[in-house]
Amino acid sequence: MEEKIITPENAQPEKKKKILSCIQPSGIPTLGNYLGALKNWKLLSDEFDSAFAVADLHAITVRQDPKKLRQQITEVFALLLAIGLDPEKSIIFIQSQVPAHAQLAWILNCYTQFGEMARMTQFKDKSQSHADNVNVGLFSYPVLMAADILLYQADLVPVGADQKQHLEIARDIASRFNGIYGKTFTIPDPYIGKQGARVMSLHDPTKKMSKSDPNPKSFISVFDEPNTIMKKIRSAVTDSEGGVYYGEGKEGINNLMGIYSCCTGLTMEQIEKDFAGKGYGDFKNAVGEAVVEELRPVRERYNMLMKDQAYLMDMAAKGAETASRIADRTLHKAMKKCGFIVK
Ligand code: ATP
Ligand code: LTN
């Protein structure tokens, strides 16, 4: 057989892998969201075909004030642009503006077992913290998340470590559907960044930093002003032992070291060396300054973007239109396989 010579002219460009991720507008995003998720999104968006969304449908699994929710959706959408995602390169949209998400979620609900959802740790945690409102949406939250991912045939899903279990369920649901009807969905892999995978609460470093934590001292918001950041880091819970090194029983210091490492690129060993013989006061100041510098450009771009709401809504509408085109293709494919009559 004649040997085929690959030249730049006939080379088949390797198909770019697809990534998708979402963030809930359930409060002002934290440093945990930024280091665990958003910062990676920006890096990955240069390399992959990417889609990123504000998961507002997920946010109503806990009760939201409508006025506040509307504001937070806009803020988080602006944040996606402020971290440097480029709407020319990535699809950036608001989940509820793409109806296919809710439609596919319903279908996938019927291919998900009650027992699978009942063992989700996030469901167990949130049904305790919102005991007065353990609604069915909270229960089937991971199914909507699976729909988000599968609609875009994502190969990779960049998330923080807390979402790994949900990713596994998305894979199970996709494999089950493919097993019954033939290949319909790409099976997604989680992409969990190393350092920021789990930023812990400053108040209780055994719990993850969460934007819906009622104690504002427990988290740093990406929009906090420098002096607020410094104050919050200085009052972070540590231990009485006094040395800056990574170790058991030193969750507070481990957490601050993780944050510092993410912001500066230094390894844990380098940090231990740099702060050998120094106290927590010095270390906390250094961590605070590193966080301030890390968030400064994001906050500045965000403040600019929020001045032009019409631009933001126009960008969201454009993103939703592009997202719908892709999502509808997958939705219709899945619907036909199930036996629905697609218009
Ligand atoms: P909530 O606290 O309202 O449940 P959340 O703060 O967990 O929300 P999400 O919007 O659900 O945030 O998640 C957005 C992304 O941020 C996800 O990829 C999630 O894994 C990541 N993330 C959230 N909190 C942390 C954290 N403390 N450390 C690292 N990553 C995090
Ligand atoms: N549950 C997610 C947010 C989310 C998401 C998604 C993440 C909703 N849909 C799809 C990745 C892919 C969380 O991070 N808490």
Residue with the smallest CA separation from ligand 1 atom 23 is 33
Q: Radius of gyration of the chain from Cα atoms?
A: 22
Give the pLDDT of residue 196: 58
Instruction: Answer whether 204 contacts ligand 1 (Cβ < 6 A).
Output: no
Q: Has 208 been annotated as catalytic?
A: yes
Catalytic annotation present for 231: no
CA dist 48 and 26 (Å) reads 27
Q: Are 79 and 222 in contact (CB under 8 A)?
A: yes
Query: DSSP secondary structure string, 148-214?
Result: HHHHTT-SEEE--GGGHHHHHHHHHHHHHHHHHHSS-SPPPEEE--SGGG-PBPSS-TTSB--TT-S
Q: Is the minimum distance from the CB of 39 to ligand 2 under 6 angstroms?
A: no
Residue 121 one-letter amino acid = T
- Collapsing DSSP to helix, strand or coil, 317 comes out as helix
Name the catalytic one among 15, 39, 194, 211. 211
Active site residue 211: yes
The four Cα atoms 212, 213, 214, 219 give a dihedral, to 10 degrees, of: -110
Q: In 10 A of CB 161, how many CB atoms?
A: 14
pLDDT of residue 27: 87
Q: How much distance in Å is there from the Cα of 251 to the middle of ligand 2?
A: 26
Total residue length of the chain: 343
- Span from the CA of 134 to the centroid of ligand 2 (angstroms): 19
Contact 242, 280 (CB under 8 A): yes
pLDDT the model gives residue 213: 86
* DSSP secondary structure letter of residue 92: E
Q: What stretch of H or E contains 54?
A: strand 49-54
Low-confidence ranges of the chain (pLDDT < 70): 1-13, 194-197
Residue 21 beta carbon below 6 angstroms from any ligand 2 atom: yes
Beta partners for residue 30, in sequence order? 221
What CA–CA distance (Å, rounded) separates 56 from 138? 13
Residue type, 185: F
User: Which helix (H) or strand (E) segment is 21 a member of?
Assistant: strand 18-23
Would the CB of 159 count as within 6 Å of ligand 1?
yes
Q: Is 126 in the pocket of ligand 2 (CB under 6 A)?
A: no
Ligand 2 atom showing the smallest separation from residue 148 Cα: 10
Kindly name the residue from 18, 39, 208, 232 that is annotated as catalytic.
208
Q: What pLDDT, on a 0 to 100 scale, did the predictor assign at position 28?
A: 86
Q: 248: which residues sit within 8 A by CB, 6+ positions away?
A: none
Ligand 2 neighbourhood includes 24 CB (under 6 angstroms): yes
* Model confidence pLDDT, tens digit, residues 108-128: 999 999 999 999 999 999 999
Three-state DSSP state, 208: strand
